[in-house]
Amino acid sequence: MVSEECLRLIHKKIAKGTLSEDEISLIVNEISDDKFSETELTAFFVSLATNGLTEEEMIAFTKALRESGNILRFEKHPVITKHSIGGIPGNEVSLIIVPIIAAAGLTIPKTATHAITSPCGTLDVAEIFCPVELSPEETKRVVEKTNGCIVSGKSVGLAPAIDKMLDAVSSLRIDPKQLMVASIIAKTAALDVDYLLMDIPTGKKAKAAHISEAERLATVFTAVGQSINLKVECAITPGDKPVGSRLGVSLEAASLLRTLKNEEWGEKANKSTSLAGIMLELTGKCEPGAGKELATKIITSGKALKKLNEIVEAQGGSLDVDLSPGDSKFDVCAPVSGVVYGFDNQALTSIARVAGAPKDKQAGIELWVRRGDKVEKGQKLYTIYSSSEARLDKAIELAQRHDAILMERPILKLVTPRRLDTESSL
């Protein structure tokens, strides 16, 4: 149970009050020390989600979060990492970026999470190759040996207070943007990072729906980072369709290896080298404008593949694993002829998750069309994979109820007077 003083502070936030640095520090300490019950965590979380935080409160919160957990120190600087605000299917580019940056001689400790809402998170892909639940000491050893790592932020014990709060309210499926910023910046700062590149996907159903919202979020990330000497750069990226054409653990892992083996060059490779290029420029590894070319060369020369192999082996795994998708599969075909207009990311995510992703590593979706493709009625649009016939059936049912791939059409919606007559009187 929380202290009387802390309870008073929860009441203060519920009553729309502003908390001082000391008050926030007290709350974060009591959360870290497991003094908060689930009810108390929820009450504090909802008061934050409803009443928000001032900029000073956010900075204090971020500092207190960072100091609530382990802080790692690395000898070789600059230390750089990247993060995404998440929510976009297929956006697993960290496993391409980490080996590029590490191969370029920079230190890149990458912590990640399992997928919360998307079909597959960075950690889901990583753990098909190697253990990801490393202790702080193990993490330090891997990074000092290979320049990089891909591990669970939770197991390293970074800013545990935020994870306790998020775990307590996970059933609510509320993700306040201010907590997301505080969590990402606090965990990154706890890893001794000098530079952070944020990927902010933007689009209708993305977390940042409009570019103005993405810009506002970028300013907050930058300002909070600045308050603790972390240089944050934000790349606003397209979030209105999946990144690449494969969703799900095995499918994305296979795609990743094909890219690093220089056997295919898709959208994910394009995005990864753009982001890695910014990171190389930011740290002075190359002239401004030359980053993407350098990042590309690190892949095509085979150095990135070699580096990923080193990292995976240092974490105790191997790249030599079976990456075939599930035997149960179904082709979803075009219900009408027409031109592909766009993708419903939420529908694709739901279908992939019902098929079993990310727990079922063999579950996922492979897209056969891209925006602008002309398709005939009955033509294959995408394939759903699963390792369970029963889950596949449920995914097919969902796919038949929701159009995951949108076709161009001359009329979007018809508003008729008959409906007005009968249903409403205005």
Q: How far is 215 from 279, CA to CA, in rounded Å?
A: 19
Q: Does 237 bind a second copy (CB under 8 A)?
A: yes
Q: Does 236 bind a second copy (CB under 8 A)?
A: yes
DSSP sequence for 196-246: EEEEEEESTTSSB-SHHHHHHHHHHHHHHHHHTT-EEEEEEEE-SS-SSSE
Q: Which of 223, 286, 333, 407 binds a second copy (CB under 8 A)?
A: 223
Q: How far is 193 from 26, CA to CA, in rounded Å?
A: 25
Q: Does 296 bind a second copy (CB under 8 A)?
A: no
Q: Which of 15, 288, 322, 417 binds a second copy (CB under 8 A)?
A: 417
Q: Does 316 bind a second copy (CB under 8 A)?
A: no
x/- map, 394-413, a second copy, by CB under 8 A = --------------xxxxxx
- Least spacing, CB of residue 96 vs a second copy, in Å: 12
Span from 46-54, 140-148, 266-274, 380-388 in contact with a second copy (CB under 8 A)? 266-274
Active site residues: 175
Q: Does 235 bind a second copy (CB under 8 A)?
A: yes
Q: Which residue has the tokens 């740290």?
A: 283
By CB under 8 A, how many residues form the interface with a second copy? Answer: 45
Residue 246 contacts residue 252 (beta carbons within 8 Å)? yes
Q: Does 336 bind a second copy (CB under 8 A)?
A: no
Q: Does 377 bind a second copy (CB under 8 A)?
A: no
Q: Does 379 bind a second copy (CB under 8 A)?
A: no
Q: Does 171 bind a second copy (CB under 8 A)?
A: no
Kindly report whether the peptide bond that precedes residue 160 is cis, defined as omega within 30 degrees of 0. no
Specify the residue, 93 or 355, whose C-beta has the smaller distance to a second copy. Answer: 93
Specify the residue, 89 or 317, whose C-beta has the smaller distance to a second copy. Answer: 89
Q: Which of 33, 34, 55, 327 binds a second copy (CB under 8 A)?
A: 55
Q: How far is 241 from 134, CA to CA, in rounded Å?
A: 33
| Strand partners for 198 | 83, 234
Specify the residue, 170 or 300, whose C-beta has the smaller distance to a second copy. Answer: 300
Give every CB contact of residue 81 below 8 A, 6+ residues apart in sequence.
108, 109, 110, 111, 188, 191, 193, 195, 196, 197
Report the 10 Å Cβ neighbour count for 316.
13
Q: Does 370 bind a second copy (CB under 8 A)?
A: yes
Joined together, the tokens standing for residue 16 give: 């729309």
Joined together, the tokens standing for residue 356 give: 């079993």
Give the CB-side neighbour count of residue 361, counting CA atoms within 13 A: 15
Interface residues with a second copy (CB under 8 A) are 55, 202, 211, 214-215, 218-219, 222-223, 225-226, 231-238, 267, 270-271, 274-275, 278, 339-341, 370-373, 408-417, 420-421, 426
